[in-house]
Amino acid sequence: MTYDIEIEDVEYLRHGDRPLLARLFKPRGSGPFPLVVELHGGAWCRGNRLNDSPINEPLAKSGVVVAALDFRMPPEAPYPASVADINYAIRLLKTRATALGSRPDLVGVLGTSSGAHQAILVGMRPHDRRYAAIPLPAGLPAADASVRCAVLCWPVIDPLARYHYVKKLKAGGPPYPEVVDRVLPCHDQFWQTEEAMAEGNPVQALERGERVALPPVLYLQGTRDQAHPRADLDRFVARYRAVGGEVELELFEGESEGFIIRNPSSPAAVRAVDKIVEFVRKRIW
């Protein structure tokens, strides 16, 4: 079934005189619908809530409320400011879920690239005090940032390993992939130290034996993606499954970084969005 949708921008949080907006994609219908909080990529330093509309619009038309977020980025604020904004948004949206046509227990998270990294980081650490540091407005019911599932589109799943990977490519001299110069400065601006890259790191959190939440994961990536090393993907999937987490891995032969966004009408992109719709409806209902 395909739904007509309403799209609107709302302010969900304000830092001083700086509003943060969420773009809401709402199916017209009786519901209750799943609600997915969506996080854009851009190496933690670029992009906005409009980036991933080629995913968000068809997902909403399938019968899912989508809230695509803006959040703080460098130079305004480094890690973990954006993660605190995201954690807050999940809690706030749970308090408003019924009014949006959903329910507080029907909330998942989705992200692309650095947004997917933050999606699983929040999903694994919903009660982290740093991430949950922004209080909800007075009078709202209590809510946590736990999610029913996480959809990860080509995540920077190990920020430290990716940092070392792009630094090695640059040290080898040109020609090297254009992604190197695009992402290397952003690693430094967002994380500031390699210690932070290791701490805010889903793969290394699992390898350290950290006690984390394990929402079911859908992991999508192209086999020709030069921005997100395959070895990091394999480490995450193996570790997540080893500690009892569920991962559905979907690899798209011949596709590169951002293939859904870059060419949303391609067969691979259409197949990927269909897989996202199927996973969300299966895991959140």
Summarised one tens digit per residue, pLDDT across range 240-282 is 999 999 999 999 999 999 999 999 999 999 999 999 999 999 9
pLDDT number for residue 44: 98
Domain housing 242: 5-284
Number of domains in the chain: 1
| CA-to-CA separations, 284 to 5, 97, 107, 109, 281, in angstroms, rounded | 20, 14, 7, 11, 6
Distance between CA atoms of 103 and 117, rounded to whole angstroms?
Answer: 25
Count of residues for the chain? 285
pLDDT number for residue 188: 98
pTM of the model as a whole? 0.98
The neighbouring-strand residues paired with 153 are: 112, 220
For the stretch 79-98, pLDDT in tens is: 999 999 999 999 999 999 99
pLDDT number for residue 285: 80
pLDDT number for residue 45: 98
What is the rounded radius of gyration, in angstroms, for the C-alpha atoms of the chain?
18
Q: Give the chain's residues under pLDDT 70.
A: none
Cα 232 to its chain centre, rounded Å, is 17
| SS3 at position 65 | strand
We report the CATH number of the domain holding residue 112 as 3.40.50.1820
Distance between CA atoms of 45 and 185, rounded to whole angstroms?
Answer: 9
Distance between CA atoms of 198 and 248, rounded to whole angstroms?
Answer: 25
| SS3 at position 76 | coil
The encoded tokens of residue 231 equal 């070895």
Q: Which residues does 128 contact at the CB level (< 8 Å), separation at least 6?
A: 87
The encoded tokens of residue 178 equal 């254009």
Mean pLDDT of the chain: 97
Distance between CA atoms of 250 and 131, rounded to whole angstroms?
Answer: 29
CB 152 within 8 A of CB 108: no
